Amino acid sequence: MNVIPPTTIERMPLMPPEEFYATPGLEERPIIFTGGMEHWPARQKWTFEWFKQTHGHIEAPVEWLKFGLKPDGWVERVGRVEVMKVRDYVEALLSPSRAGQGYLIGKDMLRLLPSLKDDIRFPAFQTSDKMTDRLFFMSPQGAFTQLHYDRAHNLHAMLVGRKRWQIWSPRYDQVLKQVPHEFVWSVQSVLDLLPHGGKWETFPANIAPEYDIVLEAGEMLYLPYGWWHRVLTVEPSIATNLWWWTWPLFVRRAPIVVPSVVAGNLLKRFKRYERHTAGRDYRS
């Protein structure tokens, strides 16, 4: 008998980390957590208008970039980065006549405005704060993040707007083909890179996603380590995430990650990654 895979992800109220880890199977599959952000200061404060009024003068790098595959197997970012005042960026992002606005994505806003971190209240899923990372996302309608998986568990918290997520489990590793030389924390699929991939309308290798969902404001998507995803902003959005490792995850994954550290590759790759993401090394 053919089993039709679910195309939607179970929604459930956010639970304390102890209950999450104690419930068999939860850590291994995507979940949409509801109602977990109502007490976050960010949920009340972080509107486009608030960023414009309160932090409008801050200058941050905005990306008009796509990932491409170079002949040597490395991933490059193609496009441009423009440093913009938050006020100008928000105005452009919300104006229908100025479509195609870039993506304010990464760690810059949290570095430029460290107090933003006080508005975020992720539960303590991590074993240690050292084993975490966070990004900030402000995106216009149409912003598209190409197919990749992350080497960490991920909670993506939607504060404003909506994003469509297409998701494949690690069972698809063989067909979705990771790049030969990967970034350390995020691993791209060869199939969704320029010049042949990178178009939202086309599934990589015509493989339909296992899950295709819209994440709404107030919801958090939990995505375990290694799950492939591509993301389209369907309504101007503000979001933040938490990437984390636990000791059991480290023990399971160390046999894959540690040899590359030992070989010195990690540092090399990290430097390469930093160069490519820090706005200094783009092909236009």
Ligand X SMILES: O=C(O)CCC(=O)C(=O)O
- Judged by the rule CB under 6 A, the positions of this chain that interact with ligand X are 137, 145, 150, 154, 156, 163, 229, 231, 241
Write out 252-277 in H/E/C secondary structure.
HHHHHHHHHHHCCHHHHHHHHHHHHH
CB of 159 to ligand X, least distance (A): 12
Residues paired with 139 in a beta bridge:
237
Q: Element (H or E) spanning 221, and its range?
A: strand 219-223
CB of 105 to ligand X, least distance (A): 7
Q: CA of 218: how far to CAs of 5, 67, 91, 128, in Å? A: 26, 29, 23, 26
CB of 111 to ligand X, least distance (A): 18
CB of 257 to ligand X, least distance (A): 18
Q: Is 230 helix (H, G, I), strand (E, B) or coil?
A: strand
Closest CB to ligand X among residues 126, 154 = 154
Closest CB to ligand X among residues 137, 168 = 137
Place of tokens 């068999």: 24
How many angstroms from the chain centroid is the CA of residue 17?
Answer: 21
Q: Per the structure block, which two tokens stand in for 104?
A: 């304010």
CB of 38 to ligand X, least distance (A): 21
Closest CB to ligand X among residues 56, 217 = 217
Give the number of residues written for the chain.
284
Closest CB to ligand X among residues 150, 192 = 150
Closest CB to ligand X among residues 145, 189 = 145
Q: For ligand X, which residue has the nearest CB?
A: 145
